[in-house]
Every structure is written in structure tokens, then in C-alpha cells.
Amino acid sequence: MNNILDFTAQMLGVQDLKVIHTYVNNGIFTVCAMPSTISGICPKCGCTTETIHDVRVQDYIHLPIWGTKTVLVLPIFRLECKCDPDHPFDLRYSFIREYQRQTIPYEIYIYNLCKQNTIENVCLLEGISHGKCQRIFNHYAQEEIDSRPSKKVRFIGIDDLARRKGHNYNTAVYDLETHSVIAMFRGRTKEDVIAYFKHLSEEFRNDIEAAAMDMSRSYCNGVLETLPNAKPVIDRFHVSQLLHDQVDDARKHIQNKVRKEEGDKQKVFGIRWALLKNFEDLEADEMNRLFKVCDEYPELGECFAIKEEFRKFFKINTKENAAAFIDYFKELVEESQIPELLSFNQTLDHWREYILNYYDCKISNGPTEGFNHKIKNIKRRAYGYRNDKNFEIRVKLECA
Ligand SMILES: [Zn+2]
């Protein structure tokens, strides 16, 4: 027994290897080893055989030992069985995946490096090719994603992604209970949504009870056509955002009229922020200016009052009250006869059922909004992903 060789065998950290000899050349630690037993199970008949047909030698990158790049040189035996001697089979090592030129412990080491670094950095650090590094990362990332406890997905969020040059995903689908990204796909039309959901199993589609979204007809119709039990749920926050946009449009409208009639653009323009602020957040001077302008142009005052009134919607807890509130609010708008707000009323009519669905299942895309930022960061870190699949795997791994 050679103690150094036994010690090296232990340092390798893989089972059933006998180290024959080692040497260091050009800063690479080379370990030549043998399996401790040469026998295998015939894949055809299941018998154990020890008959060697032929042998060749292959080297594999292994974990660095004491910081030194380590290569494992192993014999690859082909064994033959009595049942079919003309077709030998490879004696496989448990710590090497098929068709790989590195050991599993080394791959896991690379994978963990990749989780904390960009693929580019790991390639530079380890001196391995980008393709190899990416393949290793994808394999273990997919394994990790697949090993997550699979729970029924009941509540999804569907939202568009800020599309930036270099990647083609426009839509993300989230599991709102686990706060994770289920999928990203190209496009944001109804057809894109239908194509995505159609490729999922019927069981998966049937399980979905509700889908949160903003007021997008293509998302809504796509969900209605492919998810038989899913209620579309419109986020109240998006409804209120739309109201703010309409109030702002109304302000511009009045501002243009004032400019034409009085030649003064600045007066109305000057209150553009104040008009959209919550009443209690106004500074004293903002309030003075706002009220002065609103006195002069009562339509602006109405806009402000109506916008403030809508905030009560967020305090409502029952579907019945919410429905009553929408009717009440629409009347206020109708009395104002402000065209931009009347078009908001139409939006309320169109989305009414789905806005009210919120009171049946209180879901929203709010909690996933941070993902949009995270996804952008992932992209920035990798200098833009050119490969959609690689990007998607990274997003799914990190956005969970
Ligand atoms: Zn056999």
C-alpha cells in the first residue's frame, strides 16, 4: 500500500477508485486511477460480467485539489456478456455523466460558481469554453428548477416584460402563490397567449382558478379562451393609474384651450403634478396654486375631486359595495361631462366584471413587479443574452 496514493484517492472524493500514480506537469495535477472492481451488469440480460472486451483511456477534469487544476485519467472498459459477445458495453463511472469530459463533482462546482457569477467570469476563472460552461449550468439549473416541489398552480399573473434589444420575451407568467416565474414567451397578442397556454396539459389549464392582469384585451381573451376555470382579475391599481392618465389628458385639453383663448400655457401647466397628488400630500403653496387655478377653471376642480373620490375604492372590502361604488362613481363622472373621464367610464363598463372578480380572489401582480427589475438586471449582468433558452433558465432559477 502506498499511503500517498491512498491519500490522493481520498482527496478525489469519489468512490471505488484506486490511484495508480500521479504527477504534476505545467501546473496540472494528473491522477491516473483504476476502478477497484471491474465488473458490470449487462444491459441486455442483467447478468454480471467481468469479461473485458477492450479498454481505452480518457481524461476528465475533476475538482481542483489544493487549488491545482486536476485531471483524472481513467480507463474506459468495454465488457462483454455471454448473451451477446459481439456487442460490448461501456463500464460507466457513477461520477461521470454520459458524453461528458468532466466529473459530476466538478460540474457541481462549476454550477455553484455560475450561480454567483456570470458565465463569462466562470469561463475566465476556470479556463473552460463558454459553451461547456453554459451547458453545465443549464443542466443543473434545470434539475434544480424541476426538483422544486410541484404544487398545483391556482393563481397566475400575466404581465408584459420591458422588451430590450437582444431578447425577445414580451410576456411573463407568474405563479402568484410561490412568487416564481413559470414561463416567458415571445409576443403579447391574444394568439401568442393562446399558443402558450395550449401547449400546457389540460390538467394544468383546468387547475388555474384566476389570472391577474392589467387591462389588456389580448391577455384577457387569451386566458378566457384557453383556461376554462380561470377568472380574469384586473388590478385596481391599474384602474386607478388609468384614471390618472385620463385626468392628465383632461388637464392638457383644458390647458390647450386656455392657451388658445388667453395665450397663457403656464398657468394650467404649473399645476400638472399637484393635480395628480393625493390631497394630504400637497404642500401649502401647491395647494394654494391648485385651488386658485381650479377656481378659475372649475373643470379642473372637478377632475381633482373625482380623482380623490376614486381613492375610496381601495378601502372597499366586499364585491357588493364595490359594484355599488362603481355605479356611484360613474354617475359623478357623467355629471361632470368631461370627455376624458367619460371614456374612463367606458373602460369601467368594459372591465367591470373582471375588476369585481378581485373580491372573489384577491390576487394582483403587485408582488411580482420587482421581477421586472430583476430580469433586467440578469440581462445586464450577462451583457444581453443572445440565447433565449439560456436567459429563461437563469430567470426561472433566480426569480423564485
Ligand atoms: Zn447479457
Render 33-84 in DSSP notation, one character per residue: EEESS--EE-TTT--EE--EEEEEEEEEEEEEETTEEEEEEEEEEEE--TT-
pLDDT value of position 1: 54
Query: 6 and 40: one domain?
Result: yes
> How far does the centroid of ligand 1 lie from the alpha carbon of residue 93, in Å?
19
Query: 211 and 62: one domain?
Result: no
Query: 174 and 266: one domain?
Result: no
Per the DSSP assignment, residues forming a β-bridge with 186 are: 169
Whole-number Å distance between alpha carbons of 193 and 187: 8
Report the amino acid identity of residue 18.
K
Cβ atoms 344, 246 nearer than 8 A: yes
Whole-number Å distance between alpha carbons of 264 and 245: 23
- What is the residue whose three cell numbers read 391599481? 237
> How far does the centroid of ligand 1 lie from the alpha carbon of residue 14, in Å?
28
Cell for 124? Answer: 475566465
List Cα–Cα distances, 391 to 85, 178, 270, in angstroms: 47, 21, 45
Please give all residues whose CB falls under 5 A of ion ligand 1, grouped by chain where several chains appear.
42, 44-45, 47, 81, 83
Report the amino acid identity of residue 289.
R
CB atoms within 10 A of CB 256: 12
What's the pLDDT tens digit per position in 159-197?
988 665 555 678 999 999 988 888 888 888 999 999 999
- Provide CB contacts within 8 A for 46, sequence distance 6+: none
- The CATH number linked to 176 is 3.30.420.10
Query: 331 and 296: one domain?
Result: yes
Whole-number Å distance between alpha carbons of 311 and 333: 14
> How far does the centroid of ligand 1 lie from the alpha carbon of residue 46, in Å?
6
130, 147, 164 - which closes a domain: 147
What's the pLDDT tens digit per position in 35-80?
988 999 999 999 999 999 999 999 999 999 988 999 999 999 999 9
Q: Is residue 386 over pLDDT 80?
A: no
pLDDT value of position 160: 85
> How far does the centroid of ligand 1 lie from the alpha carbon of residue 91, in Å?
13
List Cα–Cα distances, 65 to 62, 218, 248, 279, in angstroms: 8, 56, 66, 67
Count of domains observed in the chain: 4
pLDDT value of position 164: 59
54, 76, 96 - which closes a domain: 96
Q: Is residue 135 over pLDDT 60?
A: yes
> How far does the centroid of ligand 1 lie from the alpha carbon of residue 346, in Å?
75
> How far does the centroid of ligand 1 lie from the alpha carbon of residue 81, in Å?
5
pLDDT value of position 15: 81
> How far does the centroid of ligand 1 lie from the alpha carbon of residue 85, in Å?
8
- Provide CB contacts within 8 A for 183, sequence distance 6+: 172, 173, 196, 392
List Cα–Cα distances, 34 to 11, 58, 75, 238, in angstroms: 15, 12, 7, 66
> How far does the centroid of ligand 1 lie from the alpha carbon of residue 205, in Å?
46
Lay out the sheet containing 155-160: strands in order across: 180-186, 169-175, 155-160, 210-213, 231-234
Query: 256 and 218: one domain?
Result: no
Confidence of residue 122 (pLDDT cuts 50, 70, 90): very high
Query: 131 and 218: one domain?
Result: no
> How far does the centroid of ligand 1 lie from the alpha carbon of residue 80, in Å?
8
Q: Say whether 130 sits in a helix, a strand or coil.
A: helix
Whole-number Å distance between alpha carbons of 9 and 16: 9
What's the pLDDT tens digit per position in 273-310?
999 999 999 999 999 999 999 999 999 999 999 999 99
Whole-number Å distance between alpha carbons of 117 and 313: 45
Query: 248 and 355: one domain?
Result: yes
Long-range contacts of 374-377 (CB under 8 A, 24+ apart): 374/398, 374/399, 375/161, 375/172, 375/399, 376/162, 376/164
Cβ atoms 375, 158 nearer than 8 A: no
Q: Say whether 396 sits in a helix, a strand or coil.
A: helix
Query: 231 and 247: one domain?
Result: no
Range of the domain at 107: 101-147
Query: 121 and 194: one domain?
Result: no
* Residues constituting the chain: 400
218-228 mean pLDDT: 96
Q: Is residue 388 over pLDDT 80?
A: no
Confidence of residue 151 (pLDDT cuts 50, 70, 90): confident
Q: Is residue 357 over pLDDT 60?
A: yes
pLDDT value of position 4: 81
Query: 108 and 91: one domain?
Result: no
Whole-number Å distance between alpha carbons of 3 and 6: 5
Cell for 79? Answer: 465488457
pLDDT value of position 320: 96
CB atoms within 10 A of CB 63: 19
Query: 91 and 37: one domain?
Result: yes
Query: 251 and 311: one domain?
Result: yes
List Cα–Cα distances, 201 to 183, 193, 209, 223, 331, in angstroms: 14, 15, 15, 15, 45
Residue 263 C-alpha from the chain's centroid: 51
